[in-house]
Structure 1
Amino acid sequence: MTDHDRAAGHGDSPPRMGFFTDTSVCIGCKACEVACKEWNALPEDGLELTGMSYDNSQRLSADTWRHVAFVEQRRTPADDHADVDVFRAAARLGTAPDGPPPGPGPAGPPAPDGRTELRWLMSSDVCKHCTRAACLDVCPTGSLFRTEFGTVVVQEDICNGCGYCVPACPYGVIDQRPGDGRAWKCTLCYDRLDAGAEPACAKACPTDSIQFGPLEELRERAAVRVARLHAAGVAEARLYGESPHDGVGGDGAFFLLLDEPEVYGLPPDPVVTTRDLPAMWRYAAAAAATLAAGVAVSFLRRDR
C-alpha cells in the first residue's frame, strides 16, 4: 500500500493494479477499443478519414478511453533488418504471430504504382492512472477519486463540468463531451475489478499486448521482457512510465516502446502539473500573514 492509498482513506487495500502495454506485440486490431466501448457504453467515433492510416479515432477523448495509434514511418534497409530481429526475438520468446518472418523491403525506389514502403508502430494508449495525479489535486467537487486498487476514477454524477482536470493532466487524457461538459476517461474498468474480473480491453487483446495485474509484478515482468529483447538485438526497446522516480511518481499504466515517446504522441518527460502547489500555498499563506500583520500595525498606530 502506498502513501497515496493511505491518503485516499484505504486501509487494508488490495495490491495496486495496472496495465503493462507491450507495443512490440500489438497488431493494431483495435479489439481493445471495441471492448472498451462495448463494456462502458461509449458513443462511437464515426467512420471518417483522420489522416492517420487506418485509424478512425485520432486520440483519447471523452468517448474513446482506449486508442490504438498507427504510427507510419518510411522504411530503410535498417528498419527491415530491425523488423526481422523483432520477429525472431518474439519467436524465441514464444510471442511471434503465425507465419514466416517479414522479408526485406525494397531499399530502392518506390513501387510502380507510387507506393513507398513503411513500417507501422502500433500502440494502444490509455489513461496512465498516475501515482501523483494532478487531476485529483485540482478537482473541486471530489468527482475524481483514487480507488482501493490505486486507480483514478471520475464520478460523472458528481462532476460539475468545471474542466480544471483537463489542462491539469500532463498526458492530455481527460476530455469533456460537447453538450455535456462533464469529464470522462478510463476507469480501468473499476466495476469489473470490484467483481474480480480483468478490464475489458485486456480481456479482449488477442496477443497479450495489454497485460493486467499487480503493478509491481508487471514492472518486474516488463524489465525481464526488455532485457530479453535487448539480448536478442532489439536495442531500441525501452520502458515508458514504469519508474516511480519520474515526474508523476510512476504510471499505473506503462508501456514498452520501440522508438522515442514523441513518436507515439507521448511527452518525453511528463511532470505532474501541480508539483508547485504546496510551495505556492506556503507563499500565499506567508503573504496573507504579512498583509494581516501590516493591517494590524496600521490600526494600532491609528489608535494612538
Structure 2
Amino acid sequence: MSRLSEFLSPESLWGRLDDPSENAGYEDHPARKGFFTDTSVCIGCKACEVACKEWNQVPDDGYLLTGMSYDNTQQLGASTWRHVAFIEQPLGPASSGAGPTAAPTDLGMPGSRPPGWEREVTLPDGADGADGADGADQGAASGDSGVRWLMSSDVCKHCTHAACLDVCPTGSLFRTEFGTVVVQEDICNGCGYCVPACPYGVIDQRKDDGRAFKCTLCYDRLKEGQTPACAQACPTESIQFGDLDELRERATARVEQLHEQGVDVARLYGADPDDGVGGDGAFFLLLDEPEVYGLPPDPVVTTRDLGSMWRHVGAGALALAGLGAASFLGRRR
C-alpha cells in the first residue's frame, strides 16, 4: 500500500478518533470536555442563549416571532450558537382522530390549553391526575384540552468525526486540546465548504462578510478552567458540562431513573461512540424521536467516503494518463 493510500484509508482517517485530541496531535491533553443536555428539566427560559451572546459578543438575530410559537430564534445559525427549541404539539382528540395527537409526557413543564382540543387519557394504576405527580398530564383526569411542550437547548455537537474539519481549506476550523471544534474567525475565508459538510446543519455564514461561525464551547473559558457561559447560566442544570466520559455515565443513570418513574420515552441522542459520527461531544436526553426536535435520526459524517473517493480519482487519473500515452504512441507508429 502506498503512503498516500495508507493516509487516506479509513483506519488512518478515523482510527484514533475515540480520542480526537490525541488524533489532532495533542500528546499531553486534558480529558475530553462536552455537554449533556437533559431536556426533561429544560424550562425554556433561554438564559443559555442570552449568556452565550453576552459572553461571546454574538449579535442578535432580530425578532423572528411568527405568531405560531414562542421560539423567537427558530434555529442555530451564525448569530445563534445556542438555540432553545420549543416543540409545541396540540394534544388532539384520540377518539375522533381529528388533528395531531401526542402522548402526554408531563414532567411539570408549563403548558397551555387552547379551546377546541380534547383528548381521552387512561391514567396508570394508582394515579389520581391531581397535579401530574405520577407522570400524567394535569388535564388528563378532567379531559381538558392541552398542548405538550417539549423544550431543548440545541448547540454544535462537537463531533468525534467532524466533517467540517476535513473540508476546511484554510485551517480556520481546528480541534482543541479539549476535543472540541472551534472556528477561527480571523482565518476563515468565507468559502462555506463547512456548511453543507455538517450533518446537523449547525454551521452558518454571516451575510455581511460570509465568514462561518458556531459554538466554540467557550474555548477561552475552558483554557482558564471555567464552565461555558450557557451551562453556568442554566438555572435547572439542564445543560451539564464536564468530562465527556463522566457525563455519559450520568446521562445513562438519568435515563434509567426516568424509566423507573414510568417515562419510557426517555432516550439518549448522540452519546453512542459507535454511531455515524463516532459520538457527539454534546449529546442529549430526549423525550421523543429525534425528528420531533429537528435532529437527524441517523447522522453520518459526510466525509466518511473521502479516502475511497480520492483513491478512485487517483485510479481514474492513472487510467486516463495510460490511455493518453497509448493513443500518443499509436499515432507515432
2:222 to 175, 178, 193: 193
Indicate the larger mover: 51-60 or 122-131. Answer: 51-60
1:17, 1:139 → 2: CA distance? 23
Aligned ranges 1:217-296 → 2 under 5 Å: 217-296=246-325
Structure 1 residue 137: deviation in Å? 0.8
Distance 1:254 1:117 in 2: 29
Q: What's 1:32 paired with? A: 48
Verify the 8 A CA contact 2:61 2:79 in the aligned structure 1: yes
| Corresponding residue SS for 2:325 | helix
What per-residue deviation string (whole Å, max 9, x for no partner) do you get for residues 161-201 of structure 1?
00111111111100001111000000000000011001000
1:79 CA displacement: 6.8
Is 1:7 equivalent to 2:36 in the alignment?
Answer: no
Q: 1:21 aligns with which of 7, 13, 37?
A: 37
Cα distance in structure 2, aligned partners of 1:137 and 1:51: 40
1:91-130 alignment runs, 5 A limit: 101=133, 104-105=138-139, 116-130=145-159
For the 8 Å contact 1:85–1:233, the answer to whether it is kept is no
Query: What pairs up with 1:118-157 in 2 under 5 angstroms?
Result: 118-157=147-186
Alpha-carbon distance in 2 for matches of 1:7, 1:172: 24
Q: Does 1:60 align with 2:83?
A: no
Cα deviation, residue 53, structure 1: 1.9
Q: Secondary structure at 1:226's aligned position in 2?
A: helix
* Kept after mapping to 2: 8 A contact 1:80/1:105: no
| TM-score, normalisation: structure 1 | 0.88
Change (3 A) 1:239 1:106: closer
Structure 2 unmatched ranges of 5 or more: 1-15, 95-100, 111-130
Secondary structure at the aligned position of 2:21 is classed as helix
RMSD over aligned Cα, in angstroms? 2.5
Q: Given the superposition, is the C-alpha separation of residues 266 and 100 from structure 1 closer, same or farther in structure 2, using an over 3 Å criterion?
A: closer
For 2:221, the aligned partner's letter is R
8 Å contact kept, 1:75–1:119: yes
Contact (CA 8 Å) 2:105, 2:137: kept in 1 or not?
A: no
Return 5+ residue gaps in structure 1 as ranges. 88-98, 111-115
| SS of equivalent to 2:271 | coil
Count residues with an aligned counterpart: 288
Tell me the SS of whatever aligns to 1:12: coil
1:275: Cα distance to partner?
Answer: 1.3
Point out the structure with the larger helix share: 1
Q: Aligned to 1:254, what secondary structure does the other structure show?
A: strand
How far did 1:202 drift?
0.3
The structural deviation recorded for 1:50 is 3.0
| 1:295 Cα deviation from its structure 2 partner | 2.8
Contact 1:173–1:185 under 8 Å retained in 2: yes
Q: Is the 8 A contact 1:42 1:64 kept in 2?
A: yes
Question: Counterpart amino acid of 1:30?
Answer: K
Q: Secondary structure at the match of 1:83?
A: coil
Residues 32 and 243, structure 2, Cα contact 8 Å, conserved in 1: yes
Change (3 A) 1:229 1:109: closer
Q: What TM-score does the superposition give when structure 2 sets the normalisation length?
A: 0.80
